[in-house]
C-alpha cells in the first residue's frame, strides 16, 4: 500500500470513525436489544404516500422532465414556499429567500462549520452535544469551548477577556437535545440570546426533534425569539436547521436552513460548490408528502414514541439501582444516564453486549474533549415497550454487578 | 440588515457566484438559442424505467424499509458491487471497498479538495479547466498552479526547485474535457503519469463524460494505466470520479469515487460528517436502472449527441469568419472557441443575447486566474441540429460585426 499521510490536509487528522456508526452494525443481530442508534422506526414510514408521489411525478412528462434534470442550488421553490409557511406557523416570519434545502440537517451542520470556521477559530458547544455536529465542525479545525448555560460555570467575561479568541458561533439544540433529551426553558433561551447579543455571537439552532414533543408546552424557537427581538429574521443572527428525517423519512435526505438572506446567499454558493443541489425528484416528492401529511404523520409518531419513552422511564424507575441519575425528556428519542464515578460507559457496553445482549452508546463521544466517561445514551425509538423493559432490566443487572465489583475492589 | 462579514471564515471571500448558473436562467426564455448549460437533454431520460424501479422498491415492504431508512456512508453495497464490475470492464480491477458513492461527481470534487488541501497549499489544474472544480476546490483556499501538459511550458524542475511549495494533487479531465472538449492521447496520459510519479503527486481523474464518445478509439483511464504500473489500485495514487448524471439522469445525484482502500476509508468518514449518505432509495433505483440499461441508454445518447456535435462543427465551418479557432471534440458536450485577441467573450455574450438571442459561456471563468478573456464555450447537448445551425449563424454574424468594429477602431 502507498503511504498517503503526507498528502492529506491537516484536517484529516481530526477525522475519527463514529462509535455510533460502528454500533449500528449490532442492530443486525436479532438477539440484541439495541438502545444505540437514534433512528426512526421504519414501521412508521409513509411508504404508500411516498410511492404515490413518485408515481404521480414520474407519470407526468412535464413534471418528470423537471424532476430528473439539474436544478437550482437554493432548492425546489414550491418546497421552500411551503417551508416558509411552515416556519411562519412556528412563529418565524420568512420568505423562500430565507431558506436553503440541504441533504438532511447533517449537511446544514457541515455548511455552518464551513461558513464560519477557519482553522484555529474558537466555537461554542454544549457539554455534551450532538456527536454528528462535533464531526461536521471538526473538519474545519475549530477549538471547541463551552457554551454558557446551566452545565457551564463560564462567565461572560471569560470569553471577552484579553487574549481570549472571540468565538465564531455557538451550536445549540434547544429541544430534546441529542444526547441528553433535555430542553431549554423559555427563560434559558432568553438568557442564551442575551449572552449571544453581548458577545455578538451567531447561534446555530438545531431543531431536528421539533415535531417529537410528547408532553409539556411548546416553547418558541431561538430563531423566533431572536427575530422578534431584532425586528425580523433578516436582522437577527440565529441560523435554524430543520429536517424531515425525524418527522417523515430520513432516506430522501432533505433538511433546510432558515437564516437572514445574506447568509442564505453565501450558503447557496456553498451548496453549488459542494454538490450542486439536493435531488430534484426527492424534493418534489417531499413537498407533496409533507404538505399533505406532515401533521398527522407526526401525530402518529408521537403516539408511538411517547409510549416507548414512558416504558423506558418506567423501566429505569423499576430496575435501576440507587445513585443512578437519568433525564426525563419531554420529547425526542433519548434518555441520558449518569453512572457512578469510576464506571466507564464503554467498558459497560462491552460487558452488556457480551453478557446481556443489550446495546447503547457510551457518553464520552458526545463531549468535545471526550471527558465524562461515566455516561451513556439510551434511545427508545426502535423497540416495543415490553422489549424496552427487558433491555433495561438486563442493563441494570449488569450495572449492579459492575457497581458491586467496584465496591469490592475499593 | 446585520453585518455578517466579520463572522465568516476566510474561505468565504473566495466563494463567487457561477456565471454559468446565472446564465442557466436564460434557458427559460423560449426565443433564446442557448449553447450555455452543459446539461443533458431531458427527452433522453429513461423516465419509465426509473418510475418502475421506484414502484418496485416502494411496493415491497422489506425493500422499502431499507430504502427509506438511514444507511451506511460508503453507499448501497449492491450498487458498489455493480460499479466494481463496471470499472473492471474499463480495465480497473477493484472491489466495493475501493468505492464511495457521492452526490454526483461535484461532491467527489468537494471531497478531494477537503481531503488534500489546507489553506495556502498548492494544487495543479489545467488552464482552462472545469469551473465547478475550481469552485469546489476554492472552498479549501489553495493556490492554483498549472498542470504540466501541452498547454503549459512549465518544467518539472519548476515544481521542485528550492522554495517551491510541493503541490498536493493535480486535477485532470482526460476525456472530452469541460470546457474544451479535447482529450489526452495515450502518450499524453503516460507522460502525465511519469510527471506525477516524479513529483509524488496524487492525480484526481474526472471522468464525467466517459460514456459520451462519438468517434475515435477508447483510451484507458489514468486510473487503469496507473494501477497497471503500480500492480493494483491499492498501490497507485490516482482517484477516479464517475457519475450517472451524463449517462442516465442528473437529478438522482449519484456519482462515485474509486481509489485505494485507505483513501476511501478517509473519504467515508468525510461523507459521514458531511451528510451521512446518499439517498438510499435513489441508490437502489440507480442500481436497478444502471445494471439493466446503462449501455443501451448511453448508446442512444451518443446517437443523438453525435448528430448535434456534427451539426455544430458543420455550422462553425460554414458560418465562422477566418481566424476563429475551435476544437473538434470526439465526445462530450462542448466545443471551445478562441476568438481574436481583444474580443472579450463576456462582452460578446451581452451583445449576442441582446441582438442575436443566442447564449454561451464566456471562457474566462474556466481559468483559475480568469485570464484568456477571448474564449467562449459552446454546448451542443440541448438543441436540435437545425437550431444549432441557426444559433451559430447568429453568433457568427455578431462576431463579424465585433471584428469589423475592432478593425475600424484600430
A161 touches chain B (CB under 8 A): no
HEC string for chain A: CCCCHHHCCHHHHHCCCCHHHHHHHHHHCCCCEECCCCCCCHHHCCHHHHHHHHHHHHCCHHHHHHHCCCCCCCCCHHHHHHHHHHHHHCCCCCCHHHEEEECHHHHHHHHHHHHHCCCCCEEEECCCCCHHHHHHHHCCCCEEEECCCCCCCCCHHHHHCCCCCCCCCEEECCCCCCCCCCCCCHHHHHHHHHHHHHHCCCEEEECCCCCCECCCCCCCCHHHHHHHHHCCHHHCCEEEEEECCCCCCCCCCCEEEECCHHHHHHHHHHHHHHHCCCCHHHHHHHHHHHHHHHHHHHHHHHHHHHHHHHHHHHHHHHHCCCCCEECCCCECCEEEEECCCCCCHHHHHHHHHHHHCEECEEHHHHCCCCCCCCEEEEECCCCCHHHHHHHHHHHHHHHHHHHHHHHHHC
Residue A17 scores a pLDDT above 80: no
Mark yes or no for CB contact A17/B104 under 8 Å: no
Q: Which of B119, B306, B75, B71 is nearest to B212 (CA)?
A: B306
Chain B residue nearest residue A42, CA to CA: B65
Mark yes or no for CB contact A260/B2 under 8 Å: yes
Q: Let me know whether B90 and B134 are in one domain.
A: yes
Q: Let me know whether A254 and A364 are in one domain.
A: no
Model-level ipTM above the cut of 0.90: yes
Q: Let me know whether B99 and B139 are in one domain.
A: yes
User: Is position B168 within any domain?
Assistant: yes
Mark yes or no for CB contact A202/B138 under 8 Å: no
Mark yes or no for CB contact B39/A234 under 8 Å: no
So what's the pLDDT on residue A46?
96
Chain A hits for B16, CB-CB cut-off 8 Å, are 269
Give φ, ψ of B338 to 5 degrees. Answer: -105, 120
Smallest Cα distance from A62 to chain B, Å: 10
B216 touches chain A (CB under 8 A): no
Mark yes or no for CB contact A274/B107 under 8 Å: yes
Residue A356 scores a pLDDT above 90: yes
B4 touches chain A (CB under 8 A): yes
User: Is position A391 within any domain?
Assistant: yes
- Count other Cβ atoms within 10 Å, centred on residue A339: 22
Contacts of B345 (CB under 8 A, 6+ apart): B339, B360, B362, B363, B364, B373, B374, B375, B376
Smallest Cα distance from A1 to chain B, Å: 5
Where is the domain boundary, B269, B293, B317?
A: B293
Task: Give tens-digit pLDDT for A297-318.
Answer: 999 999 999 999 999 999 999 9
Chain A hits for B165, CB-CB cut-off 8 Å, are none
Smallest Cα distance from A404 to chain B, Å: 39
Q: Let me know whether B15 and B111 are in one domain.
A: no
Q: Stretch A122-130: mean pLDDT, rounded?
A: 96
So what's the pLDDT on residue B409?
76
Three-state SS for B17?
coil
Chain A residue nearest residue B233, CA to CA: A1
Q: Which three cell numbers, joined as nine digits, stand for A6?
A: 503526507
Chain A hits for B230, CB-CB cut-off 8 Å, are 2
Q: Stretch A246-269: mean pLDDT, rounded?
A: 97
Mark yes or no for CB contact B70/A275 under 8 Å: no
Smallest Cα distance from A26 to chain B, Å: 13
Chain B hits for A67, CB-CB cut-off 8 Å, are 251
Chain A residue nearest residue B166, CA to CA: A7
User: Is position A6 within any domain?
Assistant: no
So what's the pLDDT on residue B393?
98
Mark yes or no for CB contact A64/B73 under 8 Å: no
Q: Let me know whether B93 and B143 are in one domain.
A: yes
Chain A residue nearest residue B261, CA to CA: A1
For residues B39 and B250, is the Cβ–Cβ distance under 8 A? yes
B156 touches chain A (CB under 8 A): no
Name the band, by pLDDT with cuts 50, 70 and 90, for residue A151. low
With cell 427563560, the residue in question is A187
Chain A hits for B18, CB-CB cut-off 8 Å, are 272
User: Is position A35 within any domain?
Assistant: yes
Mark yes or no for CB contact B274/A15 under 8 Å: no
CA A322/CA B323 separation, integer angstroms: 89
The mean pLDDT of chain A is 94
Going B72 to B73 to B74 to B79, the CA torsion angle's sign is positive
**Residue A264's domain is classified under what CATH number?**
3.40.640.10
Domain span at B37 = 9-45+295-409
Contacts of A19 (CB under 8 A, 6+ apart): A131, A346, A361, A362, A365
- Nearest beta carbon to residue A262 from set B1, B234, B279: B1
What's the Cα-to-Cα distance from B163 to each of A284, B117, B124, B166, rounded to whole Å? 53, 19, 17, 9
Q: Let me know whether A25 and A61 are in one domain.
A: no
> Which of A231, A281, A365 would you mutate first to test chain B, the one with the most B CBs within 10 A?
A281
Q: Stretch A105-126: mean pLDDT, rounded?
A: 97
- Nearest beta carbon to residue A7 from set B116, B276, B277: B116
Residues 50-89 of B with CB under 8 A from A: 50-51, 54-55, 58-59, 61, 64-65, 67-73
**Within a 13 Å sphere around the CA of A402, how many CA atoms are in the beta-carbon half?**
26
So what's the pLDDT on residue B80?
98
Smallest Cα distance from B403 to chain A, Å: 36
A388 touches chain B (CB under 8 A): no
Q: Let me know whether A30 and A66 are in one domain.
A: no
So what's the pLDDT on residue B24?
57
Mark yes or no for CB contact A54/B59 under 8 Å: no
Q: Let me know whether B23 and B98 are in one domain.
A: no
Mark yes or no for CB contact B115/A261 under 8 Å: no
Task: Give tens-digit pLDDT for A153-185.
Answer: 777 788 877 677 889 999 999 999 999 999 999
Smallest Cα distance from A107 to chain B, Å: 5
B228-242 exposure pattern, b = at least 16 Cβ within 10 A, e = fewer: bebeebbebbbbbbb
- Nearest beta carbon to residue A68 from set B106, B237, B249: B249
Smallest Cα distance from B262 to chain A, Å: 8
Task: Choose between A48 and A371: higher pLDDT.
Answer: A48
B143 touches chain A (CB under 8 A): no
- Nearest beta carbon to residue B234 from set A1, A17, A139: A1
Q: Let me know whether A110 and A196 are in one domain.
A: yes
Residues 170-209 of A with CB under 8 A from B: 202
The whole-number mean pLDDT for each consecutive block of 10 residues of chain B, a chain of 410 residues, reads 89 78 67 91 96 98 95 97 98 98 98 97 96 96 88 77 85 97 96 94 97 96 98 97 96 98 97 96 98 96 98 98 96 98 93 93 93 95 96 98 86
What's the Cα-to-Cα distance from B365 to each of B170, B235, B289, rounded to whole Å? 19, 35, 35
How many structural domains does chain A have? 2
User: Is position A270 within any domain?
Assistant: yes
Q: Which three cell numbers, joined as nine digits, stand for A1?
A: 500500500
So what's the pLDDT on residue A195?
93
Q: Residue A105, Cα to own-chain centre: how many angstroms?
A: 8
Contacts of B8 (CB under 8 A, 6+ apart): A115, A116, A266
Mark yes or no for CB contact A237/B202 under 8 Å: no
User: Is position B4 within any domain?
Assistant: no
For residues A138 and A370, is the Cβ–Cβ distance under 8 A? no
A168 touches chain B (CB under 8 A): yes
User: Is position A190 within any domain?
Assistant: yes
Ramachandran region, residue B176 (left: φ > 0; alpha: ψ -120 to 50; beta: rest):
left
Where is the domain boundary, B249, B266, B293?
A: B293
> Which of B56, B133, B235, B274 would you mutate first to test chain A, the one with the most A CBs within 10 A?
B274
Ramachandran region, residue A231 (left: φ > 0; alpha: ψ -120 to 50; beta: rest):
left
User: Is position A3 within any domain?
Assistant: no
Residues 243-302 of B with CB under 8 A from A: 245, 249-253, 260-263, 266, 269-270, 272-282
Q: Stretch A227-246: mean pLDDT, rounded?
A: 97
Q: Let me know whether A58 and A165 are in one domain.
A: yes
A143 touches chain B (CB under 8 A): no
With cell 432490566, the residue in question is A393
Mark yes or no for CB contact B70/A168 under 8 Å: no
**Residue B398's domain is classified under what CATH number?**
3.90.1150.10
B114 touches chain A (CB under 8 A): yes
So what's the pLDDT on residue A4?
93
Q: Let me know whether A63 and A199 are in one domain.
A: yes
Where is the domain boundary, A248, A268, A294?
A: A294
Q: Let me know whether B146 and B283 are in one domain.
A: yes
Smallest Cα distance from B29 to chain A, Å: 16
Mark yes or no for CB contact A274/B119 under 8 Å: no
CA A112/CA A267 separation, integer angstroms: 8
Smallest Cα distance from B109 to chain A, Å: 8
B234 touches chain A (CB under 8 A): yes
Q: Which three cell numbers, joined as nine digits, stand for B336?
A: 471551445
Amino acid at each position: 500500500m502507498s503511504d498517503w499521510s503526507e498528502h492529506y490536509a491537516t484536517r484529516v487528522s481530526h477525522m475519527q470513525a463514529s462509535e455510533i456508526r460502528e454500533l449500528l452494525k449490532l442492530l443486525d443481530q436479532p438477539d440484541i436489544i439495541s438502545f444505540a442508534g437514534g433512528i426512526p422506526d421504519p414501521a412508521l414510514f409513509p411508504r404508500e404516500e411516498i410511492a404515490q408521489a413518485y408515481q404521480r411525478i414520474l407519470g407526468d412528462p412535464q413534471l418528470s422532465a423537471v424532476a430528473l434534470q439539474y436544478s437550482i442550488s437554493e432548492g425546489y421553490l414550491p418546497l421552500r414556499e411551503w417551508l416558509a409557511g411552515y416556519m411562519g406557523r412556528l412563529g418565524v416570519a420568512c420568505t423562500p429567500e430565507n431558506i436553503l434545502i440541504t441533504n438532511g440537517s447533517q449537511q446544514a451542520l457541515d455548511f455552518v462549520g464551513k461558513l464560519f470556521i477557519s482553522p484555529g477559530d474558537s466555537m461554542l458547544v454544549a457539554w455534551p452535544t450532538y456527536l454528528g455536529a462535533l464531526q461536521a465542525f471538526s473538519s474545519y479545525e475549530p477549538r471547541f469551548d463551552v457554551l454558557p448555560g446551566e452545565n457551564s460555570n463560564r462567565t461572560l467575561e471569560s470569553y471577552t477577556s484579553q487574549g481570549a479568541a472571540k468565538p465564531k458561533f455557538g451550536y445549540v439544540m434547544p429541544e430534546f437535545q441529542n444526547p441528553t433529551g433535555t430542553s431549554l426553558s423559555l427563560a434559558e433561551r432568553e438568557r442564551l440570546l442575551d449572552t449571544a447579543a453581548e458577545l455578538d455571537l451567531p447561534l446555530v439552532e438545531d431543531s431536528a426533534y421539533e415535531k417529537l414533543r410528547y408532553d409539556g408546552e411548546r416553547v418558541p424557537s431561538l430563531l423566533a425569539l431572536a427575530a422578534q427581538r431584532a425586528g425580523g429574521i433578516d436582522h437577527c443572527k440565529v441560523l435554524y436547521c430543520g429536517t424531515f428525517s425525524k418527522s417523515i423519512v430520513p432516506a430522501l435526505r432533505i433538511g433546510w436552513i432558515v437564516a437572514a438572506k445574506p447568509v442564505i446567499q453565501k450558503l447557496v454558493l456553498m451548496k453549488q460548490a459542494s454538490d450542486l443541489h439536493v435531488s430534484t425528484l426527492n424534493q418534489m416528492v417531499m413537498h407533496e408528502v409533507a404538505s399533505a401529511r406532515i401533521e398527522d404523520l407526526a401525530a402518529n409518531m408521537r403516539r408511538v414514541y411517547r409510549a416507548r419513552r414512558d416504558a423506558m422511564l418506567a423501566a429505569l424507575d423499576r430496575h435501576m439501582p440507587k445513585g443512578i441519575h437519568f433525564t426525563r425528556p419531554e420529547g425526542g428519542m433519548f434518555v441520558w444516564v449518569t453512572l457512578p464515578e469510576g464506571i466507564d460507559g464503554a467498558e459497560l457496553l462491552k460487558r452488556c453486549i457480551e453478557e446481556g445482549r443489550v446495546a447503547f452508546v457510551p457518553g464520552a463521544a458526545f463531549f468535545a474533549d471526550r471527558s465524562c466517561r461515566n455516561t451513556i445514551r439510551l434511545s427508545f425509538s426502535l423497540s416495543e415497550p415490553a422489549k424496552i423493559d427487558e433491555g433495561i432490566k438486563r442493563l441494570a443487572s449488569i450495572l449492579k454487578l459492575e457497581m458491586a465489583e467496584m465496591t469490592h475492589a475499593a
